[in-house]
Amino acid sequence: MNKYESVVIINPNVDEEGIKALVQKFETLINTDGKVEKAEELGKRRLAYEVKKNKEGYYVIFHFEANTSLISELERNYRITDEVIKFMTIKVDE
């Protein structure tokens, strides 16, 4: 299994319960074929440029180990989740 880091920017209009539900949903998905080491919630931050008419976003960073096949499924879920406005997943070299 490889180590990955995934940054997800969530729409700032989502309430706190909605954010917790999204984080839990993505952690559950990652744990199906990997292991979440930690999920950092960085809170609302100003974006460098507007993304989908938003000037702010709620940042969450997932640090996890997973098989390569999980990444495409995870990113597919990011794309179809309306609350996610931007995401990026990178492989971490040790």
Domains, the chain, ranges and CATH?
A: 12-58+66-86 (3.30.70.60)
3-class secondary structure per residue, the chain: CEEEEEEEEECCCCCHHHHHHHHHHHHHHHHHCEEEEEEEEEEEEEEEEEECCEEEEEEEEEEEEECHHHHHHHHHHHHHCCCEEEEEEEECCC
Q: Each residue of 6-47: pLDDT tens digit?
A: 999 999 999 999 999 999 999 999 999 899 999 999 999 999
Q: What is the pLDDT of residue 64?
A: 95
Its pTM stands at 0.90
Q: What is the pLDDT of residue 90?
A: 95
Q: Each residue of 44-58: pLDDT tens digit?
A: 999 999 999 999 999
